[in-house]
Amino acid sequence: MKQILAAALALALVPLLATAQPLRDPFARPAPQVRAVEAEAEAPPPAPQLRAVMVAPGRALANINGQILAVGEWFGDYQLIKVDERGVTLDKRGVKSVLVLNEASRK
């Protein structure tokens, strides 16, 4: 009876042993994540996209890539220099760029 029980137990453990993973050294240092840092450093910053503008007496704001900016504030390398009802003007190292709202955003 003991032999049958031992054989049944051994057969039950075979699938568990096949999927068992080797023991991990608890004192081993994790591998450095150099690749992720290099990938982030190589990725260019996102191009500014105008999502919305708000023009009120004495205050004008623009939503660029989800960031709310007032005139004079910065989005990465771009400085917001003008906001009007149709769009905004950005300055990047002396080069001016105009972003215009599309027709669907103006409604």
81 with 93: CB under 8 angstroms? no
pLDDT of residue 22: 72
Mean pLDDT of 12-30: 69
Mean per-residue pLDDT for 86-94?
A: 95
The residue type of 63 is: N
Indicate the pLDDT class of residue 74, thresholds 50, 70 and 90. Answer: very high
Query: What gap in Å lies between CA 101 and CA 28, rounded to an integer?
Result: 54
Q: Which residues contact 76 (CB under 8 A, 6 or more apart)?
A: 45, 48
pLDDT at 104: 56
Taking the C-alpha atoms of residue 40 and residue 42, their distance in angstroms, rounded to an integer, is 5
In order, the DSSP letters of 1-49 are: -HHHHHHHHHHHHHHHHHTPPPPPPTTPPPPP-HHHHHHHHHSPPPPP-
CB atoms closer than 10 angstroms to residue 50: 20
Backbone angles phi, psi at 19, to 5 degrees: -100, 0
Give the model confidence (pLDDT) of 53-66 as tens digits.
999 998 999 999 99
Q: Which domains are assigned to the chain?
A: 50-106 (2.30.30)
pLDDT tier at 38, thresholds 50, 70, 90: low
